[in-house]
Structure 1
Amino acid sequence: PGRILPPLLLLLPLLPLSLAGPCSPQPNVTRFVCTEPTLTAFPTGLPPTTLAVSVEFTALAALRPTALAGLPRLQELHLSSNRLSTLPETILHPVPTLRVLDLTDNLLADLPATIFAGTHRLQHLVLQGNRLRALRPTWFRHLPRLRWLNLAANALAEVPPAIFHPLHSLRSLDLSRNRLASLAPDALAGLRALERLDLEGNRLATLPPTAFAPTPTLRLLFLRDNELRVLPAGIFIPLRQLRILDLARNRLRALELPPRPPGPVLDLDISGNPWSCECRLLALLRRAAPRLTATRDTLCASPARHRGQEVAAVSQAGDRGC
């Protein structure tokens, strides 16, 4: 819920289809697509006019260091759903104009330290569904224009402090479905343009009080399906532009909210938590007036007089004991 699909395939829908068979490059075309399941070697003979390459759903397990040589105008490279386990350090050197790189659903456990050193124009990087266990600071040092970074569904156990600091243009960061048990206080340092952050489906039990201080422009924040028990006081105060907050299916009993925005109300999902419907929570919901979603699954666990009741209904009705 609340997901925004990345603007990939920026060129592919607009370019003419080749009339040749699969994996047969034609002269002077700008788009090349191959989804041949038996393909084991990256196609050769692509014309220098090529702007977008899509080699996906194949048996491709390795790339030669020179696989992209002769493609000086390449802007998009889609290599999802292959069997790539490693990449050559210099694979991207021949394509300095690259804007989109999609490596979704491969077998990558690591990347060369300087693989992105020459891709200063890269805007969209998708590494979802691989086996990455750690992030290297050198990956992000030369990506000043990166706007979309998807690291979902890997095996990341931590986010090194300030690792994303060079990514001043980043708008969307997806770290969902990893193995993050904690977040360093400055894990998001430098992401002053970030608008969307997805931490769903990790193992987060706590968050540092200043976790979101570096991201004042955040508009969408997804924290569902973690193990959060307590939210630090004031943790969301820096997020004055927040429009969607998803805290569903954690272990929260008390709530923190950002300041009430002057524009559209906050869309808030707090379902699947054992809420303590005491005076503080009820007053907070009345004051902040968020738009609660999944209200039927947003229930009071305590006190006994409210157990099993919908939080929204109790908040609206008020509590005589408050």
Structure 2
Amino acid sequence: MDAMKITAVLFLSYICFSSSMAICPNQCTCYFSDNTTAVICVSIESLYEVPENIPPNATRISLEFTNIGIIEEKDFLGFHQLEELHLSNNRLTNISSGALKGLHQLRILDLTNNLLTTIAPELFSTSFNLTTLVLLGNKLQTVNPLWFHHLHSLESLDLSNNMLKSLPPNSFQNLTNLITLDLSSNKLEHLSIDLFNKMSKLERLNLGDNQLRSVLPGIFDHLLNLEYLFLNANQIGKIPVGLFNKLLKLDTMDLSSNKLESVPPGVFDKLLHIGTKWQQGLDVSLNPWVCNCDLKYLWNWLTMNSEKMFSLDSTVCAKPEIVREKQITALTEVELMC
């Protein structure tokens, strides 16, 4: 009798397993385990909409490198166990405001390299557990603070490689648990003084490859846990006195490829942890440094901390002509004309 029961259980298990295996969209691959149901639909040019027959217990869905252009409200209805949704490298121009409704377990949403010019204000209103949001490589020209209003659990936000020209002062006011923020490769010309005020947990901030001409004094004063700061490839011509004084945990900072001719005395004196993790921690190369007495502080700091510097060979004088292209740390005090 026991043998018959065991046989029956095994038979029913086989039927259930076979049935679950059969529920998989055409041209897609599905993986089933005790805690995970993954649906992978990648590089399917004939896919223009979210396919049917996705297992309702899916925990991960990847629809990537397809021609899907629109996400409708019905497309992910009932996927209550979904934790990861990857929609990168499609042709998305519109996502219905209710498309994520009910996806309360969603932790990761990747919308990399699509054609989004805007986002419905309420799209993320029920995404309470979202920790990672990737919007990199779209056509966004502005940020609506309502997008992130309910994302109190968000830890990583990537808005890089869009067309952002400015950011409202309250863009990120509710992202109090954010650890990583990437705003690089946009067209930002200025930043509000209180843009980062609520981000006391932020550890990594990337503002590289924008069009910033200046950085306001005090803008980083609330980023007490910041470890990585990237300001490279902007148009910054001056560093305010005390700009980095509150960044006591800063390990890596990139100021390369800007318009800096000098820096104020003492500007790096509080960066006691620079280069602690990787030894090298500061890059000031590819700036038009004017090597006169005004540069004495930087010259002395670089000389004393040369082992902490990236790209010393490219940290050279632009003026005066007599020392043009000469490495700053190779200068003598006489050449600085002090």
TM-score with structure 1 setting the length: 0.88
Instruction: Select the residue among 290, 308, 311 that pairs with 1:291.
Output: 308
In 1, the alpha carbon distance for the partners of 2:269 and 2:224 equals 11
Shift of 1:281: 2.2
Partner of 1:52: 60
Partner of 2:289: 275
Partner of 1:306: 323
8 Å CA contact 1:65–1:89 kept in 2: the answer is yes
Flag structure 2 segments of 5+ consecutive residues without an equivalent: 1-20
- Pair 1:261 & 2:261 matched: no
Shift of 1:280: 2.7
Partner of 2:226: 218
In 2, the alpha carbon distance for the partners of 1:94 and 1:262 equals 44
8 Å CA contact 1:27–1:46 kept in 2: the answer is no
Q: Which runs of structure 2 are paired with 1:1-322 in the superposition (5 Å)?
A: 22-23=27-28, 30-35=37-42, 36-255=44-263, 256-257=267-268, 259-261=270-272, 264=276, 267-277=281-291, 278-286=295-303, 291-314=308-331, 318-319=333-334, 321-322=337-338
In 2, the alpha carbon distance for the partners of 1:257 and 1:80 equals 40
In 2, the alpha carbon distance for the partners of 1:46 and 1:305 equals 70
Distance 1:198 1:74, change over 3 A: same
TM-score with structure 2 setting the length: 0.84
Flag structure 1 segments of 5+ consecutive residues without an equivalent: 1-17
In 2, the alpha carbon distance for the partners of 1:242 and 1:118 equals 34
Alignment deviations for residues 188-243 of structure 1 (CA, whole Å, 9 cap, x no partner): 12011011111111100011011111212111111111111111111111111111
8 Å CA contact 1:27–1:47 kept in 2: the answer is no
8 Å CA contact 1:121–1:145 kept in 2: the answer is yes
Please identify the structure whose Cα radius of gyration is greater.
2
Distance 1:290 1:164, change over 3 A: farther
How many residues get paired?
Answer: 303
Shift of 1:285: 3.0
Partner of 1:5: none
In 2, the alpha carbon distance for the partners of 1:98 and 1:110 equals 21
Identity of aligned residues (%): 33
In 2, the alpha carbon distance for the partners of 1:241 and 1:267 equals 12
In 1, the alpha carbon distance for the partners of 2:307 and 2:231 equals 17
Shift of 1:318: 4.3
Partner of 1:9: none
